[in-house]
Amino acid sequence: MLPSLHLETGHQETARKLVGQIFNPIAEEFMVSVRDEWLEEPTKTWFHEDRRRRFKATPDEVAAPKAGQEGWEVASQPVFGKLKDLLTSHTNDDGPFITGSKPCYEDFVVVSIFESMKRVARDRYEQLIAYDKSFKTLHEACQPCLEKDGEADAEPRKRLKCGESTVSQLHLDRQNV
């Protein structure tokens, strides 16, 4: 059962902005990882072709490092510092959450990027989590709310089951409607 989330902390906008600032620079990497690690044929081919039409480039071309562009971990250092401040400067006690021992909405906004990165871009997750112990502490404290039927660390393709259909089958069914 999920805990009651406290919405009155006033940090929602800050949490959303920080998560966006962490995610946006690596969104293209996520696109490639989703295609390669999560999708099966024929959905994988459709995804690749759809992104080529949308972006006028393949997912691999979109995700390729740009000349003169700082690495994600260097560019994100100021954002990591702001996130650390959010996680550590508003506590009422020694608890693992933003406000201390009771979780608030913002905890799950922040943990959404941790969990997404853990599942889709493990190397980026490890870089982020290594920045400050408060990141890992928060993520671990929220784990019971993230697990569903013990599948939190299941293989990606196993998590994409929707009943007896795979995502690929659902895509084909949608095309045939």
User: How many whole angstroms separate alpha carbon 152 and alpha carbon 142?
Assistant: 12
pLDDT tens digits for 4-39? 566 677 788 899 999 988 888 788 888 888 888 888
Query: Domain map of the chain by residue range?
Result: 12-175
Among 32-36, 67-71, 77-81, 166-170, which is the least confidently predicted range? 166-170
As a whole number of angstroms, the distance between CA 152 and CA 170 comes to 22
Instruction: Say how many C-beta atoms besides its own lie within 10 A of residue 102's C-beta.
Output: 15
- pTM of the complete model: 0.71
- The DSSP annotation for 78-108 comes to HHHHHHHHHHHSS-SSS-SBTTBSS-BHHHH
Q: How far, in whole angstroms, is CA 85 from its chain's centroid?
A: 20
Please state, in angstroms and rounded to a whole number, the distance separating the CA atoms of residues 57 and 53: 7
d(CA 42, CA 12): 39
Spell out the CATH class of 12-175: mainly alpha
Task: Tell me what pLDDT residue 104 has.
Answer: 87
- Residue 94 — very low, low, confident or very high, per pLDDT cuts 50/70/90? confident
For position 81, what pLDDT does the model report?
93
Burial bucket for residue 109 (CB in 10 Å: 0-12, 13-18, 19+): buried
Q: pLDDT tens for residues 127-144?
A: 889 999 999 999 999 998
Longest dimension (CA), the chain: 56
